Structures are given as C-alpha cells and as structure tokens.
Amino acid sequence: MKFKYSIKAHSLFLLAVVTVLNFLGILILRSASNMDAAIVSRQIVGSLAGFAICLAISFIDYNRLIKYNFLIYLGIVIMLAAVAVWGAVHKGAGRWIVLPVVGQIQPAEFVKAGLILFFGGYFGRTQEHINEPKNLFLSFLLFAIPALLVFIEPNLSTTIILTVIFTVMLVVSGLSISWILVFGALAGLAAGLLVFLFTTDNYQLIPFIQGYQKNRILSFLYPEQYSDTFFQQANSIMAIGSGGFFGKGLYNTDISSVKAGNFLIEEDTDFIFAIIGEELGFRGCLAILFLYIALILTILWIAMKSKNMAGAVICAGVAAWIGFQTFTNIAVATALFPNTGVTLPFFSRGASSLLSLYIGIGLVSNIGLQTREL
C-alpha cells in the first residue's frame, strides 16, 4: 500500500487546540509559580522546542518509524534502567536523570510516547493473530518490563497511565469480546480486593504499595481521620470553590486568595487545576475542559480515518494518554480520586512532559497527513 502526503489533510484544528492549551498553560503557570521568571522561561522554551519537534515528526512517515520498533523498545528499557542506576532522587523517588547540556529529564514521560509508537507497530503487525494466547502473552511481557521499571522508581501514577494506554491500544487492535470480559473480570476482582483490604484495615497485606501511597488512599477514604494527609486536596477544593462562576481574575493576589495565602502545595504541577478554578472560575474550567474534549475527539477522528491499524492504534494510545491523564489530574484536584501526583497536560510545569506530549501530537499529525494513493 502506497501513501502520499496531503497538506490539505493536515489537521490545523488539532494544532490550533494544542497551541491554545499550551498558551493558556503558560499564563496559568506564571500565576501558579508566583511570577517565577525562570520557571516560565523554561516552560516557554520547552513549548517552542516541543512545537518544532511536533512539526518535524508530522512529516516523518510513522510507517518507517515503526520499522525500528526493536531499537525504540531497547531505548525505552535502557533509559529506565539508567534511572534505576543513576536516577536523581527527589522526595524519595528516583525518577530523573541528569544529562550533559540538556540537564534534568524524566524518562518515564518519554516512555509514554515511545511505548505508543512501539505497540502501534507491534499490534499493526499482529492484528490478525492478536487473540492467540502466545501473542497476548508476548504483548503483556513486552509491556510488563518497562512498566515494572517505572513502578520501582517508585512511580505508581505513571504505571497506571501506561497500563490504561496499553489496554486501550490492545482493545483497539482487535481484542475479542471474550478476552475483554476475562481481563475485565480479573481487573474487577483485583480492584474489589484492594477496596476490601483498605476498608477492613488489612492494607498492610498489600506488598507493592509504598507507605505514602497507602496514606493517600486512606486519606481519600477517611478524610476526617487523615486530615494531615488530605489537606492538599481539601485546600484545592476550597480554591476551586472560592472562584465561583467568574473567578477572581488571573494573577489575583487578594487577601481572600487561597493561592496567595500559600495554602496550596504543588500548585504549578499536580494541583494547577486549583489555580484555574480560583482565578478563572467555573466558566474558565469549563472552557478548558471543552478544549481537551475537542482535542481528544479530533485525535479519535484521525484514528477513524487512518489507512492502517498501526495508525489507528497510535492515535487511540495518544487519546487515551491525554484523556486519562487530564481526567485523573482534575479528579485529584476535586477529591474524586486519591492524590496520585499526576500532572495536567500542557499546563503543569515540566519540559519532559511537554516534549513527550508534542511527540505524541506529531505522530497523530503525521497519521492525519497521509492519504492512500489511488
């Protein structure tokens, strides 16, 4: 099957929505960082570099990229192994490595885009035999290795995001209903067991959850008893609620501001949505949510028009990534989920996250650019 590029097929709307989200993210980050010029400057540089990378990738045939799947996968494993050996520790987690000239990066962020590209190629090649037990076992094994390396950093939140991405890509690749029901039942049993252990004070029996992670879950289930751990989410809710419908205004420093009173922690990363709620109000939150929905629907539309399974699976992976991570961040900020430490795409501080997101958008743009040659 031959492909050609069609500039008319390029989704300018996709790039426009991403640009607006990124621009709003810089404005909000400037407020959340208390006008810290260094933080804002790094975010702007990361945004410009990310957009340039996005445009470059949009003109590199993804069908050629997935031919190097083995090297992509090997690079992912090597990066994560480097974190395990030389990772810089911050707040008890070794998730970063320091590179010459480039500086500190978080490899787990790039793993999201890397695994999407890898499994896009893998599922594209095995789509006709994906339901065979040996192929399913191999796909789970290939996923488990990098996922385990991310988990032991420890980075449970990114492990969960990777699992959701992998699951969506596997389903889209043609997983049969019978397998979906089997895996769904197993996941339901596991979730039910976790809830049972926590609600019956037997959570000590769970060997793979760190102490601080257990405290976060307990504070979510029993906020009054664990108020010293729940205060981050409580203050976030207070900030969002205090914004009302219209908000207090961008860069607000009024005495009634939750942000100005230093009641928020990690307001430029995990809890940046609280700043959005307080300063832009309900209408601002709603507008940003509509932008995210528009972005995800556009990606899914491109997936539907993809000329092969690999392209559709890659788009589905990017949509699942942005959609689930956005939902999780907002759910944490509004106490619908336990505190997980997940950032808000295009808003939260972090060059690694921005660059990785733009790589994903670049892949989607490339898929949208290609049309079948008659």
What residue has token string 């928020």? 264
Task: Look at residue 92 in the predicted model and tell me its pLDDT.
Answer: 55
pLDDT tens by residue, 290-302: 999 999 999 999 9
Q: Is residue 119 part of a domain?
A: yes
More confident residue, 94 or 251: 251
Return the percentage of the chain with pLDDT > 90, whole number.
Answer: 68
Report residue 239's pLDDT band, with 50, 70 and 90 as the boundaries.
very high
Q: Is residue 323 part of a domain?
A: yes
Report residue 149's pLDDT band, with 50, 70 and 90 as the boundaries.
very high
Give the dihedral of Cα atoms 326, 320, 345, 243; nearest 10 deg. Answer: -20
Q: Which 3-state string (H, E, C) describes 91-111?
A: CCEEEEEEECCCEEECHHHHH
Q: Is residue 83 part of a domain?
A: no
Q: Is residue 208 part of a domain?
A: yes
Q: Give the span between the Cα atoms of 102 and 288, in whole angstroms.
A: 31
Task: Look at residue 369 in the predicted model and tell me its pLDDT.
Answer: 87
Task: Look at residue 322 in the predicted model and tell me its pLDDT.
Answer: 98
| Domain range for 354 | 3-77+108-372
Q: Give the span between the Cα atoms of 256 and 355, in whole angstroms.
A: 36
Task: Look at residue 226 in the predicted model and tell me its pLDDT.
Answer: 85
Report residue 94's pLDDT band, with 50, 70 and 90 as the boundaries.
low
Q: Is residue 86 part of a domain?
A: no
Return the percentage of the chain with pLDDT > 70, whole number.
Answer: 93
More confident residue, 3 or 145: 145
Residue 203 reports pLDDT greater than 90: no
How many domains is the chain partitioned into structurally? 1
Give the dihedral of Cα atoms 315, 321, 324, 326; nearest 10 deg. Answer: -110
Q: How much is the average pLDDT of 304-315?
A: 93
Residue type, 117: L
309-348 burial string, b = 16+ CB within 10 Å, else e? bbbbbbbbbbbbbbbbbbbbbbebbbbebbbbbbbbbbbb
Report residue 259's pLDDT band, with 50, 70 and 90 as the boundaries.
confident
Q: Is residue 257 part of a domain?
A: yes
Q: Give the span between the Cα atoms of 84 and 367, in whole angstroms.
A: 34
Q: Give the span between the Cα atoms of 24 and 346, in whole angstroms.
A: 9
Q: Is residue 23 part of a domain?
A: yes
Q: Which 3-state string (H, E, C) describes 352-365?
A: HHHHHHHHHHHHHH
Q: How much is the average pLDDT of 12-40?
A: 94
Report residue 104's pLDDT band, with 50, 70 and 90 as the boundaries.
confident
Which of 54-58, 251-255, 309-313, 329-333 has the weakest average pLDDT? 251-255
Report residue 373's pLDDT band, with 50, 70 and 90 as the boundaries.
very low
Which of 5-14, 177-186, 227-236 has the weakest average pLDDT? 5-14
CB-CB contact of 358 with 54 (8 Å): yes
Tokens of 144: 């488990």
Q: Is residue 88 part of a domain?
A: no
CB-CB contact of 62 with 368 (8 Å): no
CB-CB contact of 303 with 311 (8 Å): yes
Task: Look at residue 1 in the predicted model and tell me its pLDDT.
Answer: 45
Task: Specify the DSSP class assigned to residue 88.
Answer: E
pLDDT tens by residue, 178-196: 999 999 999 999 999 988 9
Residue 366 reports pLDDT greater than 80: yes
The residue length of the chain stands at 374
Residue-by-residue DSSP string for 41-80: HHHHHHHHHHHHHHHHHHTS-HHHHGGGHHHHHHHHHHHH
Report residue 147's pLDDT band, with 50, 70 and 90 as the boundaries.
very high
Contacts of 242 (CB under 8 A, 6+ apart): 248, 256, 257, 258, 278
Q: How much is the average pLDDT of 205-232?
A: 85
